[in-house]
Chain A
Amino acid sequence: QQPVQSPQAVILREGEDAVINCSSSKALYSVHWYRQKHGEAPVFLMILLKGGEQKGHEKISASFNEKKQQSSLYLTASQLSYSGTYFCGTEFYGGATNKLIFGTGTLLAVQP
């Protein structure tokens, strides 16, 4: 049930681009993306809903393929501040409240 992310880790130079993928084996209500820096709480980046609606930070872009149950996060012109672990979260119907299951994580390191 846990979504699988790829790659597990990636190292970039400042200004380079990266793509992080998230794949689920179950039908999804939505996909969330969060970034967690070491020793800190996860921070919301973006949510993609079935039907195409999106909400998130302007400098972050992502896609959601509902049929394939996959999402990708696109990081362009990376900055040092982008370093951290990226988690996708896939939202499943849980009754009165949907539940969010986090993916395996992708460690991103941006070097000068």
Chain B
Amino acid sequence: DTEVTQTPKHLVMGMTNKKSLKCEQHMGHRAMYWYKQKAKKPPELMFVYSYEKLSINESVPSRFSPECPNSSLLNLHLHALQPEDSALYLCASSQPMRDEQFFGPGTRLTVL
């Protein structure tokens, strides 16, 4: 199984809502990533988990809260988002060093 799954595919939320994005992989990868991608821009790294521990936080606002419950799952909890947070959120997984990353299809988030 070489697939990374993400749910939901689309999400519309208000600025006062709390929602979560979910990512799952069963490839035995020990690194998992969250990226944010705006239209016509490259993916922008947000967080990296390595062996279920947060190893990189790219100075992301606290309204984004990552969680890695186990080696296969990665969540991104959203609270009090701003309209400028609307984007495609991509999850990826790989081995922690110098290895190809497998991307999920993404969640397209719209904040009203």
Listed in ascending order, the chain A residues whose CB lies under 8 Å from chain B are 2, 29-30, 32, 40-44, 47, 49, 55, 87, 89, 91, 94-105
Contact = CB atoms under 8 A, between A and B. Distances in A.
A97 B101 contact: no
Interface residues of B, number: 27
- Grouping DSSP codes into helix (H, G, I), strand (E, B) and loop, the B interface class, with mixed when no group exceeds half, is loop
A94 B55 CA distance: 8
B31 to A, nearest CB: 5
A43 B55 CA distance: 24
Interface string B81-106: 00000000010000011111111111
A101 B35 CA distance: 10
Contacts of B56: 94-95, 97, 99
Interface string B33-50: 100000011111100101
Contacts of A42: 43, 90, 101, 103
Given A94-B48, A96-B50, A104 B42 contact: yes
A87 B103 CA distance: 14
Contacts of A104: 42
Contact of B43 (A43, A44, A98, A102): A102
Contacts of A97: 31, 48, 50, 55-56, 96-97
Contacts of B40: 105
Interface in B23-72: 31, 33, 40-45, 48, 50-51, 53, 55-56, 58
A40 B9 CA distance: 12
B97 A98 contact: yes
